[in-house]
Structure 1
Amino acid sequence: MYRGIRCFVPNEKGRILGNVLEPVDFIKYVWKIGNSEAYFVNQNNHFEDFFSDDDYELGIVGADLQRRFEENSYYTIFVDLQGYPSEQFEAITTYEDFVKSNCEIVILLTDCTYLDIYCKDRQLIEKLYNHAKTLPVKGLHCLSDENDGRTGMVAF
């Protein structure tokens, strides 16, 4: 059974995370922000926080998150996102928690380059995989029960 995809993204500022996530319908979800370290790159080439304190506390609606990914250059170090159909967030610390929860998608980026996307929708997994093949990512493969050793569902 497929769980999601894994790949390595370039360690550089830009829009690569948004590009990889293009097949995701962000508007369908309210996003819970876990431990994350990500920055907008402003006009002066300085970094500003990608997520606000309110984002961490309340979550972020899909349209706002999508706009941030599409309209800005940014640099991501760690990103922990969980997409829910409503604002009823749950504590997810393991893959089993994810399976039992109402969370539909988990996006984990660690150390700037290691990207894991877990999704309950097999068709979306296939769309993400096929789309990622067209991008400058490396080591792309589908995660399955047989090849995924991840136990914790956190970025760091």
Structure 2
Amino acid sequence: MLKRIDIPILSWRISNGESYRMINDEWDEELFPTDEKVIEGTALEKSAENNIYYIIFADLQAYPKERLRTCFISSG
């Protein structure tokens, strides 16, 4: 799904979702912890490439790094 997007050059805003890392066919930790609202593209790509996840629902929004930083500063 995200192969065509240059993930590392973007910042990602994370909204509601439910997704888990799979270990030995069992659900483990969440892909996006609830206290983490923004993830850099390099970290997202590394996590997605090095783990297997079961995604029930994910709301990810991609922004140029400068744009997302500006949005958060402006909104307080």
Q: TM-score range by the shorter chain?
A: 0.7 to 0.9
Q: Which runs of 5+ in 1 are unaligned?
A: 1-19, 91-156
Q: Provide the residue aligned with 1:53 in structure 2.
A: 34
Structure number with the bigger relative contact order (C-alpha 8 A, sep ≥ 6) is: 2
Structure having the larger proportion of residues in helix: 2
Percent identity reads: 35
The offset of 1:44, in angstroms, is: 6.4
Alignment of 1:29-68 (within 5 A): 29-43=10-24, 45-56=26-37, 59-68=38-47
1:88 to 50, 54, 70: 70
Equivalent residue for 2:4, pick from 20, 23, 33: 23
Task: Give the count of matched residue pairs.
Answer: 69
Q: Structure 2 CA distance, aligned partners of 1:46 and 1:76? A: 11
**1:29-77 Cα shifts (integer Å, max 9, x gaps):** 1100011111111246232111123422xx0000010111111101011
Q: Which runs of 5+ in 2 are unaligned?
A: none
Q: Structure 2-normalised TM-score? A: 0.76
TM-score, normalisation: structure 1: 0.40
- Structure with greater Cα Rg: 1
Other-structure match for 1:107:
none
More strand per residue: 2
Q: 1-side partners of 2:70 and 2:61: how far apart?
A: 11
Evaluate the alpha carbon distance shift between residue 60 and residue 44 of structure 1 in structure 2; reply closer, same or farther with a 3 A threshold: same
- Distance in 2 of aligned mates of 1:21 and 1:64: 14
Residue 73 of structure 1 pairs with residue 52 of structure 2? yes
